[in-house]
Amino acid sequence: MQQFTLTLPSPIVCSPYQNSMSLLTSLSWLSFPSILLLLPLMFLTTLIIFKKSRSSLNLPPGPPPLPIIGNMHQLGVVSHNSLLSLFKTYGPLLHLQLGSVPTLVVSSAELAKEVMKYQDLNFCSRPPFMSQKRLSYNFQDIAFVPYGEYWREMRKISIVELFSTKRIQSFGFIREEEVSQMIALISDSCSSSKPINLSDLLLTLTSNIICRAAFGKCYIGGAEKSDFHRISLETQALFVAFFVGDFIPWLGWIDTLTGQRARLEKNFFELDAFYDQVIDEHMDPERPKSEHEDFVDVMIKVQKDLNLTRDHIKGVLMNILVAGTDTGSATVVWAMTELIRNPRVMKKAQDEVRSVVGSKNKVEESDLSQLHYLKLVVKETFRLHCPAPLLVPRETIRHCTINGYDILPKTLVFVNAMAIGRDPEYWKDPDEFVPERFIDSEVDYRGTHFQLIPFGAGRRICPGMSFGTMTVELTMANLVYHFNWEFPSGVNKENIDMSEAPGITVHKKSDLLLVATKTSSSDVQRQE
């Protein structure tokens, strides 16, 4: 195993409730009328400081902010759609004031390249959001840790140990087994001709794959499954939950009054207990040896070499759990939605898979390299339905300029990958699902072509990209190989609900319900 020298971040030194309790103590001398009297003074002071700071800077264009809240009122429930409308008014480099946080929104491939390539070092940190800090054990993870020596060393570990090509291939049997089980469940339901909830099945599939790869087992029944899924869903919800203190620090006490802090602490301790159980099981000397290492096994070995703490292992596991489950299922749901709306594309994908696989009854990962059109379908899905439309937010390290505009240190930065993927400047008929647009095109999603960046680019590109893509391709190939698909009664391509649910990962708002019919031997033979 490759050796690394790791500089650890400062440990968490406060008790779970210390911050909130000290805040309440510091406010205890204030009566409610006193707070009301102080608010106008705070408002005036903030307004004066804000206006003075803006007047001396050449900031990018943007809508005028309101006092205290800034432009927060202009972000709708589905933020990337609200930002798209602002982009049409103010252009691809947009300045917003979210509370007291200066914010930059980038919505063109050229500017994304500037941010994530030419000036990547200026833009490569992460904002210290409250929920991410707590759930990553004070940023002892990979995805959300601010830029520095610790992040560089953990990044090496993720590339060399966790997501190397060899490691990803070693999990192939897990992906194939779990996909086969899902196909069997769908086959059993075909005889009833009732609609199948693909959204539920795909979320279970990706969750099982991630759990087996990360923890060595999946949680498939009884109270254990119920508890795990409840904790996992709450963790994902907290990552997009709004905390007043993140944007208006002097009003952070509101998070205590509303119960947001208590909700975060409850989830943290439940998640922490789950991780402890998993790690204890792996460190049990009587645990049966497995020929396949999971992510916990790898991190325990790395821990011994680098003197990591348990919290470092837990922080990395949180990244894998949150990022891996959500994005994969959302991508396949959107892909199947587009295929059922586009029968020509569906048939072309089915014909290719059935021709390559023949009558051997399942698609294996070794077949994927020959499924060229299916790969175009996946690529087009990433373009039209970017799983994380605003990517993971960044934060600037220092003052810099873009196109002559001043960008302040600690500016929150969103790259609107969804807007870029639908920009008519780069894409003909951008709202149409046309996989053929990538034929004879060099454009790929691996971070070198900035008109298609579903996994980001630069230093902070997603290290688990290949793992996730392999899961999506294998799942898609088996779904179109084994079944013919139809809309349920009363639904068609004109009235199917295409609305999006809010979140870091954009899911289809309503579940995808389709009717499956088993592929006949004649369907396969016609393509051989």
| Helices 222-239 and 310-341, axial angle in degrees (round to 10) | 90
Query: Do the annotations mark residue 462 as ligand-binding?
Result: yes
Which residue from 403, 399, 356, 389 is spatially nearest to 375, judged by alpha carbons? 356
* Integer Cα distance of 71 and 61 in angstroms: 13
* Integer Cα distance of 262 and 279 in angstroms: 26
* Integer Cα distance of 374 and 367 in angstroms: 11
Q: Is 209 helix (H, G, I), strand (E, B) or coil?
A: helix
* Integer Cα distance of 388 and 384 in angstroms: 11
Residue 515's beta-bridge partner residues? 486
Report the amino acid identity of residue 64. P
* Integer Cα distance of 137 and 272 in angstroms: 9
Contact criterion met (CB below 8 Å) for 99 and 70: yes
Contact criterion met (CB below 8 Å) for 464 and 325: no
* Integer Cα distance of 319 and 230 in angstroms: 17
Contact criterion met (CB below 8 Å) for 423 and 366: no
* Integer Cα distance of 319 and 147 in angstroms: 16
* Residue numbers belonging to the annotated binding site: 462
Which residue ranges make up the annotated binding site for heme?
Answer: 462
